[in-house]
Structure formats: structure tokens, C-alpha cells
Amino acid sequence: MSGPWIKVYDAANNLEAHSIKGMLESERIEVQLSGENLSAATGELPTDVLQVGLWVQEEQVSSARQQLERYENTTYNGWKCHHCAEYNEGQFEICWQCGHDKP
Ligand SMILES: [Zn+2]
């Protein structure tokens, strides 16, 4: 495969970018990140607040978008812990703060 690279997602930070990259790569989708190298080079902004772009090859854009849609659905289905009132993102099955189960 040698198609052009298409940006499919803007991650809010490095952590999100790498978790999405891992998710896509587990579906055999090749991913390149943009932004993080730039920020590391300037040394001014902490990399975790800089947006990171995720790029995939043209042939894999549609399958990447499907995965991203699934990712966003689970993320947006956040929940609030009944025990400690901490807000958790949808992909977590237990509260990251106190370890209680998702209600
Ligand atoms: Zn909790």
C-alpha cells in the first residue's frame, strides 16, 4: 500500500493519540502521528496539551473511521461513580478513582 496519508482524527493529547493508534493498529491499520515531534522540538509546550493528528493511508480511511466511531461512542458514554461521584469515561468498567463497578 502506498496511498497518500489522510488525517482522520485530532486527538486532544498524546495519551489519547497513542491509545487510538494502538486501537487502530490492532485492526491492522497503519497509523502515523503528527504534532508530537514538533512540540518536543520546540520544548516550550508540554506535549500533553498539544493536539496530535492521526493519519492513515487512503485505502484504510473507511475502516479507520469505523473504529473511531466506535471509540467515540464508548468515550462519550461516560458515567458517574455512585460511590465517590468521580466521572469516568465510557470504556472503563470500574471507577478509576475508587475501583467500584460501573453502575
Ligand atoms: Zn468511584
Which has the higher per-residue pLDDT, 74 or 88?
A: 88
Q: Cα of 74 to ligand 1 centre, how many Å? A: 18
Which has the higher per-residue pLDDT, 84 or 44?
A: 84
Q: Would you report the helix, strand and coil content of the chain in percent, each value rounded to 5?
A: 40, 20, 35
Q: Cα of 85 to ligand 1 centre, how many Å? A: 6
**Average pLDDT, stretch 2-28?**
90
Cell of 10: 485530532
Paired strand residues for 9: 54
Q: What is the pLDDT of residue 79?
A: 86
What's the pLDDT tens digit per position in 60-87? 999 999 999 988 877 667 888 999 998 8
| Domains along the chain with CATH numbers | 5-77 (3.30.70)
Residue 34: is its pLDDT beyond 90? no
Q: Cα of 15 to ligand 1 centre, how many Å? A: 22
Q: Cα of 70 to ligand 1 centre, how many Å? A: 25
